[in-house]
Amino acid sequence: MEGYVHSIETFGTVDGPGIRFVIFMQGCPLRCRYCHNPDTWDLHGGNRMSVEEILMQYRKNKAFYSKGGITVTGGEPLLQIDFLCELFQRAKEQKIHTCIDTSGITYHTDNTEYNGKLDTLMQYTDLVMLDIKHIDREAHHELTGAYNEGILDFARYLEKKKIPVWIRHVVVPGITDKEEYLLALGRFIGSLSNVKALDVLPYHTMGVEKYRKLGIPYSLEGVEPMSAEGAKRAKESILSGIKEVRQKNKK
Which pLDDT value is given to residue 224? 94
> Which of 40, 76, 75 minimizes the C-alpha distance to 150?
76
Residues 8, 18: Cα–Cα separation, whole Å = 17
Residues 30, 23: Cα–Cα separation, whole Å = 19
Instruction: Kindly report, residue by residue over 31-65, the tens digit of the pLDDT.
Output: 999 999 999 999 999 999 999 999 999 999 999 99
Calculate what percentage of the chain has a pLDDT beyond 90. Answer: 96
Rounded to 10°, the helix 228-250/179-190 angle is: 50
The stretch 67-75 carries a mean pLDDT of 96
Instruction: Give the strand pairing for 195-202 and 127-131.
Output: unpaired
Instruction: Kindly report, residue by residue over 135-175, the tens digit of the pLDDT.
Output: 999 999 999 999 999 999 999 999 999 999 999 999 999 99
Rounded to 10°, the helix 112-122/81-93 angle is: 20
| Main-chain phi, psi angles of 173, to 5 degrees | -55, 130
Instruction: Kindly report, residue by residue over 97-135, the tens digit of the pLDDT.
Output: 999 999 999 999 999 999 999 999 999 999 999 999 999
Instruction: Give the strand pairing for 47-50 and 2-12.
Output: antiparallel
Query: Mean pLDDT of all residues in the chain?
Result: 96
Torsion of CA 44, 7, 5, 86, to 10 degrees: -170
Calculate what percentage of the chain has a pLDDT beyond 70. Answer: 100
Answer whether residue 249 shows pLDDT above 90. Answer: no
Residues 210, 70: Cα–Cα separation, whole Å = 26
| Main-chain phi, psi angles of 228, to 5 degrees | -60, -35
Q: CB-based contacts of 30: which residues, under 8 Å, 6+ apart?
A: 76, 103, 105, 133, 144, 145, 146
Instruction: Kindly report, residue by residue over 190-220, the tens digit of the pLDDT.
Output: 999 999 999 999 999 988 999 999 999 999 9
pLDDT band of residue 1 (cuts 50, 70, 90) is: confident
Which pLDDT value is given to residue 17? 96
Sheet order of strands, 69-73 included: 47-50, 2-12, 20-25, 69-73, 98-102, 127-131, 165-171, 195-202
Q: What is the pTM of this model?
A: 0.95
Residues 18, 154: Cα–Cα separation, whole Å = 25
Asked whether the beta carbons of 235 and 186 are under 8 A apart, the reply is no
